[in-house]
Structure 1
Amino acid sequence: MLPRSGDVLHLTSAASVQFANPILFRVIRVHDWPTYHGWIWLDGYELNAQGDAVERRSIFVQLAGLRQVRPNFDARARAARPARPVRRPTPAQRPVRVG
Structure 2
Amino acid sequence: MNALPRSGEVLVVGRAASVQFLSPILFRVIRVHDWQTYAGWVWLDGYQLDAAGDAVARRSLFVQVDGLRMAHQPPRRNR
Fold shared by both chains (TM-score > 0.5): yes
Q: Which protein has the larger Cα radius of gyration, Structure 1 or Structure 2? A: 1
Match of 2:52 in 1: 50
The answer for unaligned runs of 5 or more in structure 1 is 84-99
TM-score (norm. length: structure 1): 0.73
Q: How does 1:45-84 map to 2 (within 5 A)?
A: 45-73=47-75, 78=77
Match of 1:41 in 2: 43
Q: Do 2:45 and 2:60's aligned partners in 1 also have CA atoms closer than 8 Å?
A: yes
Larger relative strand fraction: 2
The structure, 1 or 2, with the larger RCO (C-alpha pairs under 8 Å, 6+ apart) is: 2
TM-score (norm. length: structure 2): 0.90
Counterpart Cα distance in 1 of 2:22 and 2:43 = 18
Identity %: 65
The answer for unaligned runs of 5 or more in structure 2 is none
Match of 2:17 in 1: 15
Counterpart Cα distance in 2 of 1:21 and 1:68 = 16
Counterpart Cα distance in 2 of 1:70 and 1:28 = 17
Counterpart Cα distance in 2 of 1:60 and 1:66 = 11
TM superposition outliers: structure 1 runs of 4+ over 3 Å: none
Counterpart Cα distance in 2 of 1:33 and 1:72 = 30
1:18 is displaced (CA, Å) by 1.1
Larger relative helix fraction: 1
